[in-house]
Chain A
Amino acid sequence: MRSSSTSSRLVAATALVAALGLTLAACGGGSDDDNSGSKSTGGKTADANSLSGQTITYWASNQGTSIDADKATLTTELDKFTASTGIKVKLEVIGWADLLNRILAAATSGQGPDVLNIGNTWSASLQATGALMPWDDAAFGTIGGKDRFAAAAIASAGAAGQDPAAVPLYSMAYGLYYNKKMFADAGIATPPTTWAELVADGKKLTTGGHYGLAVEGANGAENIHHIFVLAKQRGASWFDDKGGPTFTGPQQVAAVKQYVDFIASDKIAAKGNAEYVQNQTITDFATGKAAMMMWQSAAPAIASHGMKPDDYGVVPVPTQTAGATGDAAVTSMVAGINIAIFKDTKHKDAAEAFVKFMTSTDEQKALNGKYGSIPPVTEAQSDPAFQTPDLKVLAGVLAKSAAPLPQVANESQFENLVGPAVKSLFADAAAGKPVTDDSVKAALTKAQQQMPAS
């Protein structure tokens, strides 16, 4: 009796554990794409009549204040597209936390949307999956040619030497936002142009519970964006020409240490910034808790906290020395969102027509105007809506001193391993533990060791 009872219990437990273990082994999910009722052109060149009546699915990334707000914004624009082409668009706005997994699931199953948004730093990684349609010259020809787009934006749309995997849709660049009143009160006449000036100004501004700078210490992606620039200004990159990681070079170590030192040794950023992960930096800046922040296209978010555009200024992020040129003059990564076509789409022509619409000059003005971003289509940048002081500065940065993050397949692993390593160093700094060249190098070495072979 006992052995029988035990064995039956073991069987039951096996089933239970198997069920629990499976949740890990088989996480994934699938696309809920539903293209029923739509027609395929079979890849042939289609005229407007043959495309009319088709339905394409579009996964849009969350750009505005909420998914519902984005749905409202995009639906207005998509209705124009449907009115002019007869092509219906089934819209789904997906939050950033879910988007990449949804794309991966779609890539695995082949059941994805026809058109989708991707973060431009994912371009090379997603390109490596083979799930996205390559944009060769012929494809670009259908949307007016590659020359319509800013060169930096195109450079962040796929690996160098290959056809881009996507088309730039919204562009952004980092600038240094500073509080004019706090600067004036501290007797600082002009915003800093070098890091030494920024630290000196930051120390003057750090007083009475206010801080010179706010950083998003626990946000891995933010960390990556800043240490990329700081390494670039030292002439170093995070990957070699073959796509291999080079995390542990002295310039990379110095770049990370300089960034973490804003809390660790310069003490111009509050210790609490080490756990900032959800745009608390903007809140601190807009509420006067911090006098400076490095952010991209932050005007709408700042305004949502009640700060007026006249109360702050935007200048390029500082460089190591004044008047830097070449890589040393890089002040921002090329930030932005790209639009791609799923390779398995059965509505290639309709999808291309949709991308053409979304990247048309008029739509670029409308969409980027609503989201506070910069149009990657250069013709649209001259629109008065983008001539505000902050956007003019950011557009200038994008054109002159922005560089794309390494367009290598393992870029996402770089973000996932080095971003948290910097976060961990910030945590050490906040806890009063020393952050030294050795501790930074050890953290970067550990990250590099976990990088998969490219």
Chain B
Amino acid sequence: MDANNLNVIVGEGTCGIAAGSKEVIEAFRKYAPEINIRTVGCVGMCHQEVITEIHDNNGNRYIYGQVTKKTVPQIIKFHKGEGEPLEEHLIYSPEKQDSHKWQYLGHQTRIALRNVGYLDPTSISDYQKRDGYKAIKKIVAEMSPDQVIEEIKISSIRGRGGAGFPTHVKWNFARKSEGDVKYLICNGDEGDPGAFMDRSLLEGDPHNIIEGMMIAAYAIGAARGYAYIRAEYPLAVKNFGKAIKDAHELGVLGENIQGSSFSFDIKIKEGAGAFVCGEETALIASIEGDRGMPRFKPPFPAVKGLFGKPTIINNVETLANLPWIINNGGAAYAAYGTEDSKGTKVFALAGAIKKGGLVEVPMGTKIRDVLEDIGGGPSSGKPFKAVQLGGPSGGCIPESLFDTTIEYAAINATGAIMGSGGMIVMDGSTCMVDLAKYFLSFTQLESCGKCTFCRIGTLRMRELLTKICDGEAEMSDLDALDELTEQITKASLCGLGQTAPNPVATTLKYFRSEYEAHIKDRRCPAGVCKSLITHTIIPADCIGCSLCQIQCPVGAITGEKKVKGSYTIIQAKCINCGMCFEVCNSKAIQVK
């Protein structure tokens, strides 16, 4: 086989890079300098990174997962007609189209993510080949703004950033607002820890987001747009910036688009690390150059927004669906999903799950189906305990409720929220009190400080949770948590404060016995809370390798090298950091 005709495609989203894609590309260049290499965004199978796709000169397609620089020579050898295929890494091949690994994508319905991982995000022609900029061409030639809004109304899409407000209603407000200057903002400030679909879309399919922004802008009558992107996503900022430039050069974006009277231009504003800027009015304040603090609504941004002008803010994932909806019709989108939740939703799977990554499924799918059929079940072999949905504004859904269907109302009924779609899966090794404390520390840090209940209330909650984790709490502290939950929810101005107690409320509701174990028995059942656990070495299992002693940051371990069972932990010095547990290869460290 002639290697000159081999096309190699390497997944190079941030997750691909984290798994070592740069080294893999280097290896391909070293062992087969003659082949063509192209990079694409993350297809969503993050657990298989680094993903490498090979197209040979017979038009066959092979996809390999978990590629490292060491597996590269073998892959090249096989495609040059020598040696055997690398079966354990092969996800897809002409002979292996139904492999269980491939089922990860097979179970999904990809609309927002339809292009990610299939095109080179830095190539505008790649996007055009996949129907790119067809939707905007269609609407400027054939549709009035009202017709566009009507089509979106038929699709019934609701904002995918978290709150789930019907998109066409929001657009209608802005369309009807007075004024010749209007703005369209793409909210790419994905602050929810645990959600990364916006990053993947901005990085892996930026033209799709640009086209989505153009459709929204056309509908509301905006000539200027801003893309507010987190500074923590440098690759997204880079790829999106290049996409704007290329779209300009090709005349798809800018003055008099497609020869019409519609003009639209986009500017990138990098965020500066403030979770509250995901809130609309705070985001606007941030673009205006101020501290990102929310203000009272009304007036809503659709009436009085950026620089005092009517403004619409749409989330990245919402925008990603728009070109597809225009090309295929609103009814085609609404055909997916349930009565109150139409279409598909992207989820970011992470934590104690076998196949972490991005998953797009029709609304109405059961949580269990996402975690088991697509996610492949728990990674540790221990059973699932809970899934955290909706980040700091969301809540924990226990395993007993995994048959809940994914739709706005059903998820809300559990006490969690759909949110932006982060799903952090947990098994027995996560302490729910520690998790609640983690989220409260997060919201407390991220509170803008404007409302007392949010600023001080979340601090008091965190103090109470710290007390519980330290084994110093009383049962009455749980009542105090309930009371604070109610007050903060009622008295905060914006969504951050109103939802901040949610992680506490849901863990208290579903995992109360864990709170009680901390308070009554001074015990952390998951073995996480440092004040309540001890690390000891089981002499019978200790092989005397000294790894734990080397790793211990506080010199709390003594023993004699090569003498089995000689190592012990000096409890007075031990800080329970868990380093010894992590490095011990013979499972001799006991955490209790």
The answer to whether A and B belong to the same complex is no
On A, residues with C-beta under 8 Å from B are: none
